Structures are given as C-alpha cells and as structure tokens.
Amino acid sequence: MKREKRALLETVGPRGEVFSEVPEGRCVCPGHDIEVAWFLMLEGLHRRDQGLVDVGLEIVGWALELGWDKKYGGLLYFVDVEGKPPTILEWDMKLWWPHTEALYALLLAYHLTGEETYLTWYEKVHEWSFNHFPDPEYGEWFGYLHRDGSVSTPLKGAMWKGPFHLPRALLQNLKLLGEMAR
C-alpha cells in the first residue's frame, strides 16, 4: 500500500520498494485493489479493528478514483499510477470481475459508514455493469468488453472466467441488502 501514490501497486520490491522507472512498477489493477478493500473491511469487522476497516474504505476510494474510465464509464482493467500510457495490452478492457467486486465493496462501505458517496458509486457501477455485461438473450454475463462497453468475445466461460465472482458477489449483495433491510 502506497499512500503517497493512493494505490496498491501490482509489483513492488521485497521490502515494498517502488520501481517507478519501469511500467510494471507503476501498474495498478483497480479490481485487485477493490477486492483487497472489502477483504480488509470484513477482517476489520471480525477483529473489531476500525483502523483496518478504514484502510479498506480508503483503498476502495482510491481504486475508483484511479480506475473509473472518465470517457466511457466502467472500470479499466489496468492503469498506470502516474498516468503514463500503460504497457499491458488489455489495460483498457472492462472485465466482469472488477465490477462485481466493486458492487459488493461499495455496498459494504455504505452499510458500514452510511456515507452517500459509497451509495452514489454503487449506483453508478451497478448501472454501468447491468447495462453492459448481461447477455439479454442467453443470460449470464459476458466476461470481456472493449473500452467502449461493446462485447469483445461472446465467451461466458473460459479458463479465467468461471462461476465464481458473479454469483458470489450477487449472493453477498443479496445477503447484505437483507441485513440492511432489518
């Protein structure tokens, strides 16, 4: 975690050293950051450690600020923390799983804090996701979209896309909404 960069970097040295001079050292995957954020929030609740919850809240904010595509909406797959051109070929794609992770992380953040900013983000991610990923004809979500939100491949299952992120996130959201309704 690099607070001065407001990001979790994908690659650091063994002691957390930052390698800003190479693209790999500036690479951020907003989906990974968001996933880590809700893990930390839940672990903080489990330990009764508000500091850990707060770190998770901080990270989810950073990830959305850095990863949200201001031109087309949706979460970019990879970004360069310094705003330089990313070198990972699929950097500008929109994948299903970061969006599902964001839906749960944002609902959890709103539930824990009551802060409207998390609800606003939740609604934004929900709207974008449900307008682009679901296949209206055959169900399930497309996994891979181009930057503009158009379908990159019609595959719904492959080596890296299985029945994990989407059903888990939807079940987590359903459970949390049930708790919030009580």
pLDDT in tens, 94-118: 999 999 999 999 999 999 999 999 9
Residue 2 confidence (pLDDT) above 90: no
Residue 159 lies in a domain: yes
User: What's residue 106's pLDDT?
Assistant: 99
Residue 11 confidence (pLDDT) above 90: no
**Is residue 1 very low, low, confident or very high in pLDDT (cuts 50, 70, 90)?**
confident
Residue 55 lies in a domain: yes
The helix (H) or strand (E) run that includes residue 172 is helix 165-181
Residue 4 lies in a domain: no
* Rounded percentage of the chain residues whose pLDDT exceeds 90: 81
Which pTM value belongs to this model? 0.94
| CB neighbourhood size of 118 (10 A) | 22
Residue 111 lies in a domain: yes
User: What's residue 65's pLDDT?
Assistant: 97
Mean pLDDT rounded to a whole number for the chain: 95
Rounded Cα–Cα distance for residues 12 and 44 (Å) = 24
Residue 8 lies in a domain: no
Residue 17 lies in a domain: no
Residue 138 lies in a domain: yes
**Is residue 79 very low, low, confident or very high in pLDDT (cuts 50, 70, 90)?**
very high
**Is residue 121 very low, low, confident or very high in pLDDT (cuts 50, 70, 90)?**
very high
Rounded Cα–Cα distance for residues 110 and 104 (Å) = 10
User: What's residue 158's pLDDT?
Assistant: 85
User: What's residue 162's pLDDT?
Assistant: 84
Give the range with max mean pLDDT: 6-10, 21-25, 150-154: 150-154
Retrieve residue 157's tokens: 């299952």
How many domains is the chain built from? 1
The stretch 144-166 carries a mean pLDDT of: 92
User: What's residue 25's pLDDT?
Assistant: 81
CATH of the domain at 77: 1.50.10.10
Characterize the bridge pairing of strands 79-80 and 27-28: antiparallel
